[in-house]
Amino acid sequence: MKRIVCDRLASLVCMKTTRDADNQEGQDNELELDNGHLLNKYCVHPSQASSSSSAAAAATSPEHRVNRVERLLASINELLEAKIRNDVQLRLRADRNQQIMNEWMIAAAVIDRLCFIVFSVSLIVGSFIFYLFF
């Protein structure tokens, strides 16, 4: 049904179809990254954090402080990863909602244009019939 209303009828009444809108959005928005790539880009993994912090902390602190710092860094890293994952999910959800809204707007515009065409044709035919008989 979506394909009929949004694509075929839209092209029939000379309107932009959903494919045209998707192509334009695809060119404008190049932010599709998977969760792993995004996490690797913005987060420090616990193994990286522990190796860099343990060398600096071992020279100045006892062993239990190093473990504590490593645990704190690991928990901070987990929190950052969870925040980034949530942000990515919210962004994807917002993009999907925007896409659905655009599809409904196109469907409404197609139906509006069809109603206008039917009204115009019936008005012209009715006026012509009224002019012939009266």
Over residues 49-108, the pLDDT tens digits come to 444 444 444 455 577 788 899 999 999 999 999 999 999 999 999 999 999 999 999 999
Does the pTM exceed 0.85? Answer: no
**Which range marks the domain in which residue 67 is found?**
2-133
For the chain, the C-alpha Rg in angstroms (whole number) is 30
Predicted confidence (pLDDT) at residue 48 exceeds the cutoff of 80: no
* Average model confidence (pLDDT) across the chain: 76
Other Cβ atoms closer than 10 A to 133: 6
Asked if 35 and 85 count as a contact pair (C-beta separation under 8 A), the reply is yes
pLDDT of residue 19: 63
